[in-house]
Amino acid sequence: MTQKILASGSPRRRELMHYIWKEFDIETSDAEETVPIPKLSAPEDLPVFLSRLKAEDIASRHPGALVVGADTIVIAPDGEILGKPKDQEDARSMLKKLSGCCHLVVTGVSMCQMNGTDKRFHSFREITKVYFFPLTEQEIDHYVESKEPMDKAGAYGIQGLGSLLVEKIDGDFFNVVGLPVARLKRELDGFTV
């Protein structure tokens, strides 16, 4: 039986991956911190690049294993890429940029399997539009003080208290959580044929 590995330490991705695989291992990669980011043609390409780095890094350590890597970013209305906030002030700043606007959540997902010199690889990205209500300073402060935004791209989690900030979405809800599971299931079915 083929070993399956999720190349992510995210508890949200782990929970969602259980919808597809009942049993799998988890191993995180720090490859993205050691490789310079190339010039990309669009911000939407960044999570695909990073997910591929993670998947290839873990697959190179486990010959024959099927590895899934993922990375999620938020793209503000002005095109700025918002990762995880560095501190509470950074979280406040991000939430102010998203207040009353539509932004994009982009998740890149990569599948990789290596056997010696033979390497199979496939990537895709999922994009969801998220619309925030106009937020007051008090709402932003209350949310930041909850500590929920601190480990999430764009400084919010739609599956938690951050749901109170969201007016509507256009696209896959689970993509905003961090893993577009319905599409990933279909992409994996095609990849493992």
Whole-number Å distance between alpha carbons of 158 and 173: 8
8 A C-beta contact, residue 72 and residue 148: no
Residues forming a β-bridge with 66: 4
Whole domain around residue 16: which residue ranges? 4-191
Q: What are phi and psi of 23, to 5 degrees?
A: -125, 130
Kindly report the CATH number assigned to the domain that includes residue 59: 3.90.950.10
Q: Print pLDDT tens along the chain (193 aa).
A: 889 999 998 999 999 999 999 999 999 998 766 556 777 788 899 999 999 999 999 999 999 999 999 999 999 999 999 989 999 999 999 999 999 999 999 999 999 999 877 899 999 999 999 999 999 999 999 999 999 999 899 999 999 999 999 999 999 999 999 999 999 999 999 997 5
Whole-number Å distance between alpha carbons of 176 and 38: 25
**Residue 149 structure tokens:** 């935004």
Positions marked active-site? 71
- Structurally, how many domains does the chain consist of? 1
Among candidates 81, 108, 111, which has minimal Cα distance to 189? 111
- The pLDDT, as a whole number, for residue 35 is 59
| pTM summary value | 0.92
- The pLDDT, as a whole number, for residue 34 is 59
